[in-house]
Amino acid sequence: MKRSLPQDDAPFAFAPEQQREVETIVARYPEGKQQSAIMPLLWLAQEHNGGHLSRAAICHVADLLGMPAMRAMEVASFYSMFQFAPVGRHFVQVCGTTPCWLRGSDGLKEVCARAIGAPNAPSADGMFSWTEVECLGACANAPMVQINEEFYEDLTPQRLEEILQDLARRDGRARSPAGAARPRAAAQDQRASAAQNVSGSTKKSEPPHVEGTGTDFHQFAW
């Protein structure tokens, strides 16, 4: 997928309390392998930069790790989890790769276009944005979307529409009962979530821990 480099040049630096988190992340890696912290630090920068990475944020992370800015840019541009332009509060990533396409991802994209608008631009109220991405690893439960950190699998256009409406109600775009619950993530037809196979959670923000293997992916250095 072709991705434009970030145009946003707003200054960026981690706040003091975030700096402590940076030190904790970097300390997970063996001596001499600190640059392996590039992924979690870019993720942290994105979280604290309103959901996308500016050029300054990428350069700041590169400086912290003592690596050329271009190498950090290469990593950030390779993974669709890193955004280079503002996204909505609910960022919908629709998988359009073959298994999801065969199972109806075109219908999911139509729902997003109708409910949110054009891809890759936040809705007028900033609540939603959507984009198409390559395989997110939940092909067994295709078609699926990721909304922020949650997977929603085995979707139909109707079910996705309901989920978007539920999120809008919950955030006050439409009238809703007080304390309306967040729509249920994972497989929508009660099957086991494809994402649960690895982490026991549908959240993608934390490196996975594979049950029973003792494998902590935080320890991997590359």
d(C-alpha 143, C-alpha 221), whole Å: 33
* 14, amino acid identity: F
d(C-alpha 207, C-alpha 198), whole Å: 10
Name the residue among 70, 65, 28, 31 with its Cα closest to residue 45: 65
| SS3 call for 48 | coil
Binding-site size, ligand FES (CB under 6 A):
11
Quick check: 198 binds ligand FES (CB under 6 A)? no
Number of alpha helices (DSSP H) and beta strands (DSSP E) in the chain: 8, 7
Cβ nearer to ligand FES, comparing 61 with 138? 138
Cβ nearer to ligand FES, comparing 57 with 144? 144
70 alpha carbon, distance to own chain's centre: 22
Q: Which residues inside 87-126 make contact with ligand FES, applying CB under 6 A?
A: 95, 97, 99-100
| 26 phi/psi in degrees, rounded to 5 | -65, -35
Among 139, 147, 164, 185, binds ligand FES (CB under 6 A): 139
User: C-beta of 95: minimal distance to ligand FES in Å?
Assistant: 3
Cβ nearer to ligand FES, comparing 136 with 185? 136
Among 135, 149, 156, 203, binds ligand FES (CB under 6 A): 135
Residues that bind ligand FES (CB under 6 A): 95, 97, 99-100, 135-139, 142, 144
